[in-house]
Amino acid sequence: MKLQENQLPPAAAELVQKFATRRATIGVVGLGYVGLPLAIVLAEAGYRVLGLDRDPQKVIRINEGDSYLMDVPGSAVRALVQSGKLSATTSYADLAAADGVSICVPTPLRKTGDPDLSFILDAARALQPALHSPMAVILESTTYPGTTRELLLPELEKSGLKVGQDLFLAFSPERLDPSRTDWTTRNTPKVIGGITPACTAVAAAMYGQAMESIVPVSSTEVAEMTKLLENTFRAVNIALVNEMALMCERLGLDVWEVIEAAATKPFGFMKFTPGPGLGGHCIPIDPLYLSWKLKSVKYNARFIELASEINTGMPRYVVQRVQDALNERGRALQGSRMLVLGVAFKPGVSDTRESPALDVIGLLKEKGAVVSYYDPHVPEVQDEGWDLRSVADPLQAAKASDCVVIVTDHGGVDYPGIARAAPLVFDARNALAGVEIADGRIIRL
């Protein structure tokens, strides 16, 4: 149900007008990969934006006009800080001046596989003293359907304010794809679902001044489920092509040639490519939120569980293929010098969250290999039990290695040169497509 402005509660109408004239102050809680780009877009639209983060170093850097994210130019931060449109704080009390607040905090999975919503709940509780009427609160953190209504709503109403009359609560999933320049925070359609129609209208008014396209939906649950469908779609299809890679290897076929041939069909097919596993903060995790939620209604999400099983097994498959390739050349994996190319979860970023490279490195080290890595965007990386720094010269490191494993195919890396220098290359990303070396030293996924 779409409300006209004259049908809105008085507090909602007041907020809508304030957003429309850009007289509002917006708070953004969590200044990471989602929150900082959102803060920039809102400030560039004319709002005064107050970013909040628990990390004092991030706050200092923003207030000095500096950026710590590859996707956010320091020049953009500096211009907005100097104009007075952007500032940062560690204190929730400062958000009492905000007319709207976007919550962009992490929602990881615990080791037990259940959602960790502590960051959302901590933010809601810390925000309570700053709540006032009228005010909009919008959750962007990915979570299972029902979170906004069942967890966030009761916490906010402990303030004594009524959602839908005094406070306007909505869910709007982030759709950020780091390193993309064609689809950004500004021009990616923004899905918004409110607790009430008035909540949807207020949230749409707040974001509508900064985003090119708003997609209102009927409830917070629909908006929450939308994000999970988007990433489940990707996880399942990536699992399909990963299993296709396993099948093609058994049949002696080139999976990359098969995929390229299938991609020539102009309808009914969407191209996905295999790889060493899933990484990032969305695709490996978000579908499992839905799977966990469905267990509460006695439903087994079989596609999600199977996709997760296939995708999480890919790093082990890569290491096994590497081990087999070395064995065929009379070498054991134990004691071999391995160079891993790329540890970020995708090309062109510095984010290593859930990166399959961490699993590949860990498994290689478990089997006694001597591992080094090169990543132009990640100078140092660590996981449980190990800590490595990127080598300075990948070409020299390749010459000194027994095998190079391409895990993340960053741009600007001389993969053909490395392949010619290395005695053996396992290419998990088809980075060496079209490169032929007569002695068969290149092995593809």
The single-letter code of the amino acid at 266 is P
Token pair recorded at residue 366: 């478990």
**Contact in structure between 319 and 360 (CB atoms under 8 Å):** yes
- DSSP state letters, 247-306: HHHHHT--HHHHHHHHTT-SSS-------S---SSSTTTHHHHHHHHHHTTT---HHHHH
Sheet holding 135-139, edge to edge: 86-89, 48-52, 25-29, 100-103, 135-139, 167-171, 190-194, 214-217
Distant-in-sequence, close-in-space partners of 383: CB < 8 Å, separation ≥ 6: 358, 361, 362
Q: What is the CA radius of gyration of the chain?
A: 24
Beta bridge partners of 404: 339, 425
Backbone angles phi, psi at 408, to 5 degrees: -130, 125
- 10 Å CB burial of residue 330 (0-12, 13-18, 19+) is exposed
Task: Measure Cα distances from 77 to 37, 63, 212, 330 in Å.
Answer: 10, 9, 21, 55
Q: What is the DSSP letter of 341?
A: E
Beta carbons of 200 and 192 less than 8 angstroms apart: yes
Lookup result for tokens 């290149």: 442
| First-to-last C-alpha distance (Å) of the chain | 50
The set of residues, in sequence order, having a beta carbon less than 8 Å from that of 345 and lying 6+ positions away, is 279, 280, 351, 352, 353, 354, 355, 356, 357, 408
- The span from the CA of 81 to the CA of 296, in Å, is 46
> Does the annotation count 199 as an active-site position?
no
57, with CB counted inside 10 A (0-12, 13-18, 19+), is: exposed
Residues with Cβ within 8 Å of residue 245, at least 6 apart in sequence: 255, 274, 445
Beta strand 214-217 with 337-341 is unpaired
Q: Which of 199, 248, 282, 403 is catalytic?
A: 282
Helical ranges in 282-423 per DSSP H: 286-295, 302-328, 356-366, 394-399, 415-421
Q: Could you give the residue numbers annotated as active site?
A: 282
